[in-house]
Chains A and B, each alone.
Chain A
Amino acid sequence: MRSLISDTFWASLAYVVASILTFEVLMPLQNAFFPEFASRASLLFLPHGVRVLAAWLMGWRAVIALLPGVFIVFAYLGGADVFLPSRLQSIFVAVVSAPAVFHVLKVLGWDLFPRPDRAPCWACVMVAGVLSSILLSVTTNMAFGSEPSAYFAFLIGDTFGLLFLMLGLFYAFRFMRSAN
């Protein structure tokens, strides 16, 4: 129980921080550099990286661990609209899609979950992230009735978000190693 509380705190905190970075720093830059890009989707959506890495590390526990963070971000962006059925559906899909993809892949014989006796494969985690993004994009955009271009923008944003988050972690670990 204590471990779940700790997981929830760290995963939700990471989700909120990644969202603030995306919406308050990266999106204004995107709007400044690509003003012709009309979609509201971020082309570098870091929270997707948090979702995928949390699901990879925790499996189904990531659903509970991410829920407070995802809810806070939806409330921050949409205010009281967070309780609309379409928003609640989006929150549900946002927390469930990545763990569902990892578990479906495991059932199909491609177990990507970390194990002490084998080296993880970052490219495989990326593939799971893309599949999760497709699932998320289709279901979320269906709920909001978005244009087809939005599906593609979501996919690009999620994929680059995951890749850049992993690169960020990669350099953070390298920095810590060299600092030691």
Chain B
Amino acid sequence: MTEISKLAELRKLMQSMERTLRLEGLSPVERDIYYAAGELSKTEEEVRTFGLIEHTLVKDVSRPTFFRALKSLVRKGYLSQSSTANRGRYIVHAPGK
């Protein structure tokens, strides 16, 4: 392994740490929505807002809090709005990507 590739591996290791820390940096509601979105995205590539609101992890969250957290997740890069479909559909991204 060259010096550069050792540095690259170290940097990758630190990125894995960053992913964990960034996930821990989410609020409890944001984390629940992100987990719910992650679960829903296993069956469908795009996650619908309606499906998220109905998810067990999220259904007790008030609407204003839900939409605030959803917006925050988009801003932080964990979710992005679908460019192909109409509004209300999201694509889930791995943290740090």
**A binding-site residues for B, Cβ under 8 Å:** 3, 6, 10, 53, 56-58, 114, 116, 119-123, 125, 166-167, 169-170, 173-174
Contacts and interface: CB of A to CB of B under 8 A. Distances in A.
A53 B20 contact: no
Given A3-B2, A57-B1, A169 B9 contact: no
Interface residues of B, number: 17
Contacts of A53: 10, 13
Contacts, number: 47
Given A57-B1, A58-B1, A166 B17 contact: yes
Q: Which 6 A-B pairs have the closest CB atoms?
A: A114-B9, A122-B17, A120-B13, A170-B14, A122-B16, A173-B14
B6 A122 contact: no
B76 interface: no
B16 to A, nearest CB: 5
Interface in B20-39: 20-21
Nearest to A119: B16
B3 interface: yes
B16 A121 contact: yes
Nearest to A124: B16
Contact of B13 (A6, A58, A125, A174): A125
B17 to A, nearest CB: 4
B1 A170 contact: no
A121 B16 CA distance: 6
Contacts of A57: 1, 6, 9-10
B12 interface: yes
B63 interface: no
A106 to B, nearest CB: 16
Chain A CB within 10 Å — which of B5, B9, B20 has the most?
B9
Contacts of A119: 12, 15-16
Contact of A169 (B6, B14, B16, B21): B14
Given A167-B17, A173-B14, 10 more contacts: A114-B12, A116-B5, A119-B12, A120-B12, A120-B13, A121-B16, A166-B14, A170-B14, A170-B18, A173-B10
